[in-house]
Structure 1
């Protein structure tokens, strides 16, 4: 079953820069998808559109077959269906302390406090930052803030999780924890979409690769098929993979 469908989507920023041109795609439940492309290719704009942050000028966005209408009711529903982890945690982490930040969205949807506290405990543990629970956010490293942002998104228990360059600024231990989290999300049946420049990660982790260039979707297929097309990768400024190397070392 398709959980996301885009039909001839186009978007131009108020500045006049055209970010997306005639984007059509369908993402199935449980897929592991990487979104790739050079800087300025449109992949971040596509993430923002999928998260409901920007509204297309043309085309339709469907969630489970229902057209997304960008009204308050639909935006609230989208927040429960899709969790988006921004590349920059400073635009996402809003509270002064870690536990309060993870609780923010949960309280906004009206969960009872007992459930809120249970989810804080569960998702801080999942992301490997239980020891940061009472820490002030301003004392954290950039990588730790990214983990807090991830915990806050996962605590909402969305069906679809999107992450924009999630490995940026993470150290080795944090990266291994994130790989484990991605595996667990996939095993639990979640749809996971990761925007990344890391070809090695993309080739080893994902089922499917979407590659953007100049606001257009230039490649869409299994990672095996896409990364076998060396000339296409070169044209799209995507690094080839090294067959004897692996980035997935977590147990």
Structure 2
């Protein structure tokens, strides 16, 4: 297996006058793999994301980029932040400039890039998030979904290899969620590795390649369908079985589907499965049409 882009090695962290949140943690972000980070409130998801992005420094252990330990001086943190960007859950905690364009340009300007390069990065980020028309809009006049996109655009303008998003679909209506997921797929297609913290197991099953479950016994990571079928780990993480996996198990139990794999992930895939298997009888590989 290739070296992870970013990794935590034997990392521990405790907040001042508080209990240890993470202890002896090993965690990898593998390039090109969409990763869903799941766990109950207080499980350490936010701490983990801030450790990966350099917002927090481990009390023990180390953070590495391409196998090289990160140094927490100006040079080391600049290197880290051109590799990893974190977008927090509430965009109002991240936006501060007067206009969308000014906010998105903040990071590249702080890198000391030439004006032409800054303008190119801003234009690229605005286009990627489909907010070109909002460039001159005051940030305080944006809708919640527009503020979310602007916050992500500010991170994308840094051209990170890894983009970490904390609950990016929270507070969005269904159409807004779909548009954001389409945007994230576009970023993945152009080489950005995306890590998403979420409580939505159905979204994780549909979107991610891998899932990391934060449990009291540690972090368990693996292919998303396999991880989200583990009832023991889901219970420890305070999560429920995803809709698609539950439906797949029900269909097999009643002899309505004999196909392999994770089963349907969406209502559309269930409809395709029903058409392929002619539910009510048993079919094999042909029943996986459209999955």
Instruction: Specify the TM-score bucket, using the shorter chain as the normaliser.
Output: over 0.9
Secondary structure at the aligned position of 2:172 is classed as coil
Question: What residue number does 1:46 align with?
Answer: 48
Which of 116, 119, 127 is the aligned partner of 1:117? 119
TM-score by length of 1: 0.92
Deviation at 1:239, TM superposition (A): 2.1
Tell me what 1:105 maps to.
107
Once the two structures are overlaid, the 10-residue window that deviates more, 2-11 or 227-236, is 227-236
Looking at CA atoms only, which structure, 1 or 2, has the larger radius of gyration?
Answer: 2
Contact 2:128 2:186 in 1 (8 A): no
Partner of 1:80: 82
User: TM-score, normalization: structure 2?
Assistant: 0.80
Question: Residues 194, 171 of structure 1: CA spacing in aligned structure 2 closer, same or farther, 3 A cutoff?
Answer: same
Structure 2 equivalent of residue 236 of structure 1: 237
Corresponding position of 2:166: 164
Change over 3 Å in CA distance of 1:247–1:31 after alignment to 2: farther
C-alpha separation in 2, matches of 1:195 and 1:134:
30
Deviation at 1:22, TM superposition (A): 1.4
CA–CA separation in structure 1 for the residues paired with 2:150 and 2:120: 16
| Structure 1 residue 247 displacement after superposition | 8.3
Q: Deviations over 1:21-49 (max 9, x none)?
A: 11112222111111110000001100011
What is the number of equivalent residue pairs in this alignment?
A: 248
Show structure 2 runs of 5+ residues with no match: 245-263, 270-291
Give the CA deviation at 1:224.
1.6
1:246 corresponding residue in structure 2: 266
Question: 2 CA distance for matches of 1:185 and 1:30?
Answer: 11
Residue among 197, 200, 215 paired with 2:199: 197
1:247 and 1:204 mapped to 2: Cα distance?
11
1:45 and 1:248 map into 2 onto residues whose CA distance is 36
SS where residue 144 of structure 1 aligns?
helix
Which stretch shows the higher mean deviation, 30-39 or 118-127?
Answer: 118-127
Q: Which residue in the other structure is 2:28 paired with?
A: 26
**Residues 229-248 of structure 1, C-alpha deviations (whole Å, 9 max, x = no match):** 12321232112111255289
Alpha-carbon distance between aligned partners in 1 of 2:109 and 2:233, rounded to the nearest angstrom: 47
Rounded to whole Å, the distance in 2 between the matches of 1:188 and 1:111 is 22
1:163-201: CA deviation from partner (whole Å, max 9, x where unpaired): 010001223333222111221222223221111111011
Between 1:34-43 and 1:16-25, the stretch displaced more is 16-25
Counterpart CA distance in 2 for 1:62 and 1:48 is: 14
Q: Deviations 1:107-126 (Å, cap 9, x if unpaired)? A: 11122222322322222122
Cα distance in structure 2, aligned partners of 1:104 and 1:193: 23
CA distance in 1 between counterparts of 2:9 and 2:236 reads 25
Paired residue secondary structure (1:59)? strand
**Aligned-partner Cα distance in 2 for 1:16–1:151:** 34
> After TM superposition, where is structure 1 displaced by more than 4 Å over at least 4 residues in a row?
none
**Match of 2:178?**
176
Structure 1 alignment gaps of length 5 or more: none
Q: Is the 8 A contact 2:7 2:52 kept in 1?
A: no
Alignment partners' CA distance in 1, 2:26 and 2:189:
27
Structure 1, 102-111 or 239-248: larger mean CA deviation: 239-248
- Tell me what 1:217 maps to: 218
Higher relative CO (Cα under 8 Å, sequence separation at least 6) belongs to: 1
CA-based RMSD of the aligned residues comes to 1.8
